[in-house]
Structure 1
Amino acid sequence: MNTLHHRPLAVAVALCLLVVPALGSAQESPRPTTELDRVDVTGTRIKRAEVEGQVPIQTLSREQIEQTGLNSIGEVLQQLTGSGSALNAKFNSSGNFGFPPDGSGVGAGSAQVDLRHLGAKRTLVLVDGIRWVNESSASGVGAATDLNTIPLAIVERIEVLEDGASSLYGSDAIGGVVNIITRREFDGGQVTVNYGEYSKGDGTQKGVDLAWGTSGDRYSLFLGASWTKQDPVYASTREQSRVPIPGTGLTFGSSATPTGRFMFTDPNTGIAYNITPNSGVTNPTFNGVGGCDRTDDYHCFATADRFNFAEYNLLLTPSERKGLFGQFRFDITDNVQWYIKALGNRRESTNQAAPEPLFFGPDGATGNPLADNIVISALNPYNPFGFDLDSSSNLSMVGRRPVEGGARVFEQEVNTQYFATGLVGNFEAASRSWYWDVNGMYSKNKAEQTNYGSYDIYKVNMALGDPAVCAATPGCVPLNIFGGPGTITPAMLQWIQPVVRDRSENELSLFTANLSSDLFNLPAGPVSFATGYEYRKYEGSYNPDPLTVIGHYNGVPSLPTSGSYDVNEAYLELSVPIFANTEIGSKMDLSLAGRYSDYSTFGGEFTPKYGLRWQVTNDFVLRTSYAEGFRAPSIGELYGSAARADLQLFDPCSVGLGGTPPRGSAANCAALGVPTGFQQANSQISVTTGGNPELDPERSRSFSAGFVWSPWFGSNTTWSERFDVEVTFYRHHIEGAIQAIDAQTQLDLCVDTLDSVYCDGISRASTGAVSAFNNRLTNLGSIKTDGWDVDLFWTLPQSDIGQFKIGWQNTFVGRYEALGAAGQRQPQEPGIEVVNSSIPEWTSNATLGWSLGAWNASWTVRHISELKEQCGDASTFDVCSDQAAGTNTLSATTYHDFQVGYKIDWMKGLQLSAGLNNAFDKDPPICLSCSLNGYDASTYDIPRGRYWYLRADLRF
């Protein structure tokens, strides 16, 4: 039995057992009780909702955000226990991950949030209750929000709704909603300066935030400015990230080396070669003989010859963000207020990858015919073999890494514009108060990515071909890929190495109108309602460099994408009191909500929601909700043109790198045309991806149930000022999830079953290597997940040694099951690491806060339970913890963060803070299946990741 799965249930039952006598005591005791506070919260459109409504809301105050020592909204939200894997500055995306099938691009330099492990595109991000524009990364049309487009300096608090909310907010609110509340009323000024770096002296972060506000009888004005700079951390500076997979040496290094790898058959002798030049050879003369015992200037290619691409990568990508924000509010009358908000933000970020490899021949499997079908002429002055290397006859693969051209560098510039205005008011009519607002918003993300260090494969092809053709072409210089590092001259580079520029945009235009009031009274209280209308228009485009469009780019190919759609929506929400002040409880309310959405792309959709809130006593609330939701296909998912993702895939028909026999059936592999003894030359297989205009919306069902308990005996007593327990069970079920089947799963199932459902789109060359892999979007079968949130908050009374506060938040994932359209099980599940992401069975954050006079301090413990992964070809190495089973355990990891602060009574207050994150320098567990840097960057801190920081905050 999985004891961890049942642990939250046991906790909940135990807490309920404690509640029973407490309820009896509360009903019989004459002691006064404390009613729950009432505030406006995310998750309802009705005014004056209780803080503990039918759905769980987690609020991060500005003080809590500053306690983390982090400088990005995305980084803060990714530390929530309910967050899944999402992009951040630790993902060195460009040049390493290729294009995802949803047409969104690689998201280079962005920071996202993923609630309940359902994906960032299934989490809706609002700013002051209104949608934020989707990201633009210059490589696609994004379907998620880049939180780096919102300066942290303008944030007052963040409210996180961890439940489905399509009936209230529309599409994308399947996993939950993040509502970022901006600073509004502020009198005076504030300057915040921060500086920090890792203990190895790199990864410096520094920033300055400015805030100023003023207000009068009828107006308020807030202005904010922010500047943040993050320096890089190079993979070569950490032992764990210096090689492709820690503990395996160069086994998983690249076949494309600075000296070159040549696999061909001599047409004169019929002898097959797999050779590389001896070190230092500049222009060898080939007089080879078969086998590995050689006497010429070559030797047979072996593991020691592989190229270590890892040391060129980044553990932390550099970026610089500058933002300006302003908000002005004016009371036109005592009951009508006009507001205007504007934001401008610029992000400049950089990714870096190893020098770009050149692969030629069918086993190179680049997907580009200029490389896969090349003829390297015998007349090329540098060809030592004396015959053509022809992909159609004798050439299997050539791999050459032109280190002379330097690393690939991808520089992004992302500009965000935001403008919103509207009216907010109230009036009295029919003996009740009415609340209304109308809002208009326009926002735009525009990105440009400049790529240095890539190659024009058309020009490379010409420079390796007939020298007469090259001589007749202005600028063409014959290319030497045979002589080892240093033999590609500056003149050769000038001919084959362009600067590549890609651009993309995302725009959102929006209008909303809302009305809320009470309809009529029932014995238990008024029936309240909210209703409204919303119009949205989405426009997006991606324009790759013309070189890429015509197919000459040696890197990941892609085609332009553009599209738009709009939606008209209307909603109604009701709050109906069932009873109040009875023997069975203080109050029970029923909430009902429904939203109708009419999309220009697929038509209409209705999503309902039902909730029940039972306040059993003043200090104990039971709540439950059921919601149906949907997510409309994004522009990239609908219209994304053919692109490519270069993925690390292990061919089941291949002999393992350690000589282990193929995992796949010999008969099935033979039926697929794979010869006996085939060994995969290039583990990076090019997979074609792209959108699908026939996609349907995703549809979901969400359920939650739990309680909030603030016991009377834990309030204002000698041992407790306040004590709160919150337990929630959640369940999400998505049908028709839009995604491509996991590529490794598809390849494995093709070999195991020979079923055309999996094998269609997978082609193999005459050598047996996978030469084409089409992996397009579809509406998959389903995603089902459920789990528990168990949270405890305890504020101790003030004493001579200060006041202590304890917050302990836990998420237990009981189930995560993803099925393909044909019922095939996807590899993601609780406790498993796969595809650079994980679903821990248990994540926990515990914070102990202390204050005494001008002093304050905090200690935060972040815990991630152990994970397991498939070792793949690394199963023959000691770094694979269970070589017999072929699985590796990523041990449970705990981080400790400390902060101390002192407040000086100068002007309106000078707060000085110092902090140490990952204080004990805990390294992340080694990940064998992760694509980069030997660990999961979406789950753990970087290796050797102790980070210290200082902050000064002056108010005047």
Structure 2
Amino acid sequence: MNAPLRQPLAAALCLALATPVLSIGTAQAAPAGQQSAPDPTTLDSVQVTGTRIRKAEVETQVPVHSLSREDIDRSGLTSIGDVLQELTGAGSALNTKFNSSGNFGFSPNGDGVGAGSAQVDLRHLGAKRVLVLVDGMRWVNESSASGVGATTDLNTIPLAIVERIDVLEDGASSLYGSDAIAGVVNIITRRDFDGAQVSVSVGEYGEGDGRQTGVDFAWGHNTDRSNLFIGLSHVDQEEILASSREQSRWPVPGTGLSFGSSGTPHGRFIFTDPATGVTHDLTPNAGAPDPVFDGGQAGCDRTDDYHCFGTADRFNFATYNLLLTPSERTGAFGQFRFHFNDRLQGYAKALFNRRESVNQAAPEPIFLGPDAGTGNPLADGIFISAANPYNPFGFDLVSVDDPATPENEANLVMIGRRPVEGGPRVFEQQVDTTYFGAGLEGTFEAGARTWFWDVNLATSRNEAEQVNYGSYNILNIATALGDPAVCAATPGCVPLDLFGGPGSITPEMLAWIQPVVRDRSEQQLDQFTANVSGDLVDLWAGPLSFAGGLEHRRYEGWYQPDPLTVAGHYNGVPSLPTSGEYDVSEAYVEFNVPLLAEGFFGNGLDLSLAGRYSDYSTFGSQFTPKYGLRWQVADELLLRATYAEGFRAPSIGELYGSASRADLQLRDPCLVGVDGAPPTGDPANCAALGVPPGALQTNPQISVTTGGNEALQPETVRSFTTGFVFSPSFASNARWSDRLDLEVTFYRHSLEGAVQAIDAQTQLELCVDTLDPLYCDGITRSSVGSINGFNNRLTNLGSIRTDGWDADLAWTLPELDAGRFRVLWQNTWVTRYEAVGAAGQVQPRRVGIEVNDSAIPDWTSTATLDWRRDAWNASWSVRHISELEEECGDAVSFPVCSDPANGTNTLEATTYHDVQLGYRFDVLRGLQLTAGANNIFDEDPPLCLSCSLNGYDASTYDIPGGRYFYLRADLRF
């Protein structure tokens, strides 16, 4: 397994010759009857993603998948992120199907969650390990108003300005620097456009919701010396409520209220009566007292206004969630190019984009007492006075022993009250993106050779503001529940009634405890690049080609939460400000060395060598090399292989991010499950951790604190790919085939020092199993045994190793009376994914497993049949996702868990069918009308028991009830 990494060049050649390998790309073997290297006098030199050397050939050592404008239009989608997430090599990434605010306002890696954004993940290595370029220049990272993110929000780039998208699914740090571990996405904008085009689209789901409308305007004017392009775009995506689909109406599908919240509109009160020493777990009766209603708990008959809390009393928070979040995006883009003469041209380009999006969560619960586990001392140490006019129990409710007053012994375990009177939590984001770039490009002659050069300067910024309605001020809550005399002396304070059920919290009470919370963040990227490329000398097998360049970048980012949050008075997810900056200077070289010319050993063998030196202000310097072989065995067959070393520098949020919290669905092995399942942890170890026998896990959401670490070092990676491109002559210009291309690639990535925290569930289980301070330090428990603190900080943790195969087939059939047909079939097989922590613990993510709202299918496939005849065109696409498996967790006792004996649930293989039909009218310069439907057979995603929201994995599947119809009109004039 390690031999190819120790001897990369020899092993690459051997594997390319000996193994069948698969890959996607623009590179193609020359068809029979043509020379593999076209005459450079017939083609302009071009810049190809995956190499810095400008040349007339497009065959490279690396697989590059290119999505044309036609491919994008065929998808029927309105977001670059959504288009890229349908690639077979794409992994789980954030999109607008994630209702990602509320308890999910901060990611487990401490850098914020881009609520409303769309990202791309390649090879399942994470979106932060994919470098996004626009016309070869880096794009600024996202701002989400919840942190300083490490990824790019593709919703900041209007889809209407895109000419094509190149996706390099290979490590490329030597060519492009940090972040290019899993690959590079290079978005090429429209440039050579003459005339005007108006595009109007409208789409809607079969349930009559989620309408998406779009209007794009493009105008270009070309002269002999200049190119001008202007693009305007507006997209409006409406919401879909989780309550509108059966699959997303419950916290966990098929389990009813078992996994609902204990923070209910009526309230849940767990306390010990100081007069009797009896501990009660009560909730008010809904209406008149019911002496026989026992809430599902045997032996708990009461004759007062309360009954014992049971499953039937839990709150269904899912009905308030969104299945598809609303998003409105407006963008303007323009670029101008001027040719001063045949050897010099200049350009300037500018972009402004505004995204307005909304996330929504259920009314924010108020959890009080030591068992609440919020991590906020104001909530965990609450004191509710007996003199509070709404306290029905006649004695103080005390969370913490007071040594000065022995009579005030702690008696409160937990209060959970959800003020539905205050409405749901609504998070509104406004993200403004600005970009300006300018540069010069030209050629010069040196030694009878033509050289290409360019210098580029760009500045870009993302500014975000998030306004949160429906959250609470925990300090004001504590004041309103405490001594009435203190409340009366506090301007604006009104005593608070948490005990009277829905409607007991008056508008005056809400005015005191419910603020409007405003968070802001910003990221800025300034960059300068200079590049030169040309042929140095003629060698025995051809010219020695060279590219080299310099680059300087400066990153700056900050996150400023609301002053209420900074002060620790915010009842929701807490966080502190983040601010930081760094700069990097780099130099790179790339050589293409022809080893063999056309002869006995084929049509040519080339060696590619590249290296980049990077000097960071945060951690020092780094050098990354890359080696590649390209062997044109014959006109029909190209073999290629690469070995590369790469790195990813820690982001501003990962370095300087302050402590923030994510509320995660965790199963505590030491506690009785919310469904009554017995503890799974070792009883002696649980006792040593302070857990009393029979202690109940009252809330499956546990607050986990994350944060940055200035001592972080770069992640490093070794990448290896090998494969072939085969275009057989027997399938060219034949009666049954015009052209047949087969591409195969094997890939392997070995990542060391991954910046992450150990998986929280894994850490908790290892703590209970081993009592090792490595895992237990930072996990604290209350007097009743529940977790009230969970510190899970970032570090350079362990390794990730993954490998797999890509296979693509492109078959163009001859022109028939019925029209011309073309078949495209793309496949990715993941054969290994293994993440190991620093102490050797295996993380739960692996091939064929669904975990933490993400999946790694062992096979994903997309097949498309295109048809054209005269003015008609049509396509039929089939998207396939192989079977997955997940842990049932506490849902193991429910029928929805398909294999309760093993505690696992199978997510069956899923196949979606998309169709499209279009007709072109000879109106002005052309009117194209297109109608289409995605998921035409209304395939629902498989039920997911471990997913956080909506009962399915939103990064892998289409939404439930997801048949989507759309119409589009494109008019050229």
- Tell me if 1:904 matches 2:921: yes
- Tell me if 1:72 matches 2:79: yes
Note the 1:463-474 alignment, pairs <5 A. 463-474=480-491
Deviations 1:825-868 (A, max 9, x none): 10000000000000000000000000000000000000000100
- Residue 656 of structure 1 and its aligned partner are, at CA, apart by 2.5
- Tell me if 1:179 matches 2:193: no
**From 888, 892, 900, the counterpart of 2:905:** 888
**From 308, 317, 328, the counterpart of 1:320:** 328
Alpha carbons 2:103, 2:573 under 8 Å: kept: no
- Residue 14 of structure 1 and its aligned partner are, at CA, apart by 12
Paired position in structure 2 for 1:626: 643
- Residue 34 of structure 1 and its aligned partner are, at CA, apart by 6.3
SS in 2 for 1:202: coil
**From 666, 671, 675, the counterpart of 1:649:** 666
- Tell me if 1:489 matches 2:506: yes
Alpha carbons 2:61, 2:640 under 8 Å: kept: yes
Paired position in structure 1 for 2:8: none
**From 215, 235, 238, the counterpart of 2:242:** 235
- Residue 13 of structure 1 and its aligned partner are, at CA, apart by 11
Paired position in structure 2 for 1:548: 565
- Tell me if 1:373 matches 2:374: no
Partners in 1 of 2:542 and 2:35 — Cα distance?
21
Partners in 1 of 2:815 and 2:529 — Cα distance?
46
Partners in 2 of 1:153 and 1:513 — Cα distance?
29
Alpha carbons 2:20, 2:744 under 8 Å: kept: no
Note the 1:478-517 alignment, pairs <5 A. 478-517=495-534
Paired position in structure 2 for 1:106: 113
Deviations 1:367-406 (A, max 9, x none): 0000000011111100000011111211110000000000
SS in 1 for 2:378: helix
- Residue 290 of structure 1 and its aligned partner are, at CA, apart by 11
Q: 1:594 to 1:488 in 2, by over 3 A?
A: same
Partners in 2 of 1:303 and 1:49 — Cα distance?
69
Paired position in structure 2 for 1:5: none
- Residue 673 of structure 1 and its aligned partner are, at CA, apart by 0.9
Paired position in structure 2 for 1:295: 303
Paired position in structure 1 for 2:90: 83
SS in 1 for 2:319: helix
Alpha carbons 1:101, 1:637 under 8 Å: kept: no
Paired position in structure 1 for 2:25: none
Paired position in structure 1 for 2:53: 46
Deviations 1:240-295 (A, max 9, x none): 0001011000000000000000000001100000010000379x9xxx99951111
- Residue 40 of structure 1 and its aligned partner are, at CA, apart by 3.5
Partners in 2 of 1:97 and 1:739 — Cα distance?
17
Partners in 2 of 1:604 and 1:251 — Cα distance?
54
Alpha carbons 1:864, 1:894 under 8 Å: kept: yes
Alpha carbons 1:277, 1:299 under 8 Å: kept: yes
- Residue 660 of structure 1 and its aligned partner are, at CA, apart by 2.5
Note the 1:210-221 alignment, pairs <5 A. 210-221=217-228
Paired position in structure 2 for 1:258: 265
SS in 2 for 1:420: strand
Partners in 2 of 1:625 and 1:13 — Cα distance?
14
Alpha carbons 1:518, 1:526 under 8 Å: kept: yes
Paired position in structure 2 for 1:391: 399
Partners in 2 of 1:797 and 1:464 — Cα distance?
80
Alpha carbons 2:36, 2:603 under 8 Å: kept: no
**From 746, 766, 790, the counterpart of 2:807:** 790
Unaligned residue ranges in structure 2 (runs of 5+) = 1-14, 23-28, 401-409
- Residue 334 of structure 1 and its aligned partner are, at CA, apart by 1.6
SS in 2 for 1:364: coil
Partners in 2 of 1:607 and 1:51 — Cα distance?
24
SS in 1 for 2:81: helix
Give 4+ residue runs of structure 1 displaced > 4 Å after superposition: 11-18, 36-39, 288-291
- Tell me if 1:56 matches 2:73: no
Alpha carbons 1:101, 1:691 under 8 Å: kept: no
RMSD value over aligned CA atoms?
Answer: 2.0
**From 523, 528, 538, the counterpart of 2:555:** 538
Alpha carbons 2:21, 2:806 under 8 Å: kept: no
- Residue 32 of structure 1 and its aligned partner are, at CA, apart by 2.8
**From 663, 681, 695, the counterpart of 2:698:** 681
- Tell me if 1:722 matches 2:739: yes
Paired position in structure 2 for 1:204: 211
Alpha carbons 1:584, 1:616 under 8 Å: kept: yes
- Tell me if 1:941 matches 2:958: yes
Deviations 1:18-77 (A, max 9, x none): 9xxxxxxx99x9x73564778531000000163231110000000010000000000000
Partners in 1 of 2:877 and 2:21 — Cα distance?
29
- Residue 548 of structure 1 and its aligned partner are, at CA, apart by 0.2
SS in 2 for 1:582: coil
Deviations 1:162-220 (A, max 9, x none): 00000000000000000000000111000000000001110000010000000111111
Deviations 1:585-623 (A, max 9, x none): 110000000000000000000000000000000120000
Supply the AA of the counterpart residue of 2:467: T
Deviations 1:440-487 (A, max 9, x none): 000000000000000000000100101100000111000000000000
Q: 1:34 to 1:250 in 2, by over 3 A?
A: farther
Partners in 2 of 1:280 and 1:840 — Cα distance?
50
Paired position in structure 1 for 2:781: 764
Partners in 1 of 2:620 and 2:674 — Cα distance?
52
Taking structure 2 as the reference length, the TM-score comes to: 0.94
Alpha carbons 2:367, 2:417 under 8 Å: kept: yes
Alpha carbons 2:861, 2:880 under 8 Å: kept: yes
Aligned residues: 935
- Tell me if 1:592 matches 2:593: no
Supply the AA of the counterpart residue of 1:492: M
Unaligned residue ranges in structure 1 (runs of 5+) = 1-10, 19-25
What's the % identity of the aligned pairs? Answer: 71
- Residue 16 of structure 1 and its aligned partner are, at CA, apart by 5.4
Deviations 1:503-550 (A, max 9, x none): 000000000000011110111100000000000000000000000000
- Tell me if 1:667 matches 2:684: yes
Q: 1:663 to 1:207 in 2, by over 3 A?
A: same
- Residue 953 of structure 1 and its aligned partner are, at CA, apart by 0.2
Alpha carbons 1:33, 1:712 under 8 Å: kept: no
- Residue 103 of structure 1 and its aligned partner are, at CA, apart by 3.3
Paired position in structure 1 for 2:796: 779
Note the 1:740-889 alignment, pairs <5 A. 740-889=757-906
Paired position in structure 1 for 2:232: 225
Alpha carbons 2:16, 2:724 under 8 Å: kept: no
- Residue 691 of structure 1 and its aligned partner are, at CA, apart by 0.2
Partners in 1 of 2:17 and 2:842 — Cα distance?
32
Alpha carbons 1:36, 1:619 under 8 Å: kept: no
Partners in 1 of 2:54 and 2:256 — Cα distance?
62
Taking structure 1 as the reference length, the TM-score comes to: 0.96
- Tell me if 1:920 matches 2:906: no
SS in 2 for 1:585: coil
Deviations 1:134-168 (A, max 9, x none): 00001110110000000000000000000000000
Q: 1:49 to 1:871 in 2, by over 3 A?
A: farther
- Tell me if 1:348 matches 2:328: no
Supply the AA of the counterpart residue of 2:185: V
Deviations 1:306-352 (A, max 9, x none): 00000000000001000000000001122000100000000000000
Q: 1:87 to 1:281 in 2, by over 3 A?
A: farther
Supply the AA of the counterpart residue of 1:152: L
Supply the AA of the counterpart residue of 1:140: G
Partners in 2 of 1:705 and 1:302 — Cα distance?
59
- Residue 582 of structure 1 and its aligned partner are, at CA, apart by 1.4
SS in 1 for 2:718: strand
Mean CA deviation greater in 289-298 or 578-587: 289-298
- Residue 650 of structure 1 and its aligned partner are, at CA, apart by 0.6
Paired position in structure 2 for 1:6: none
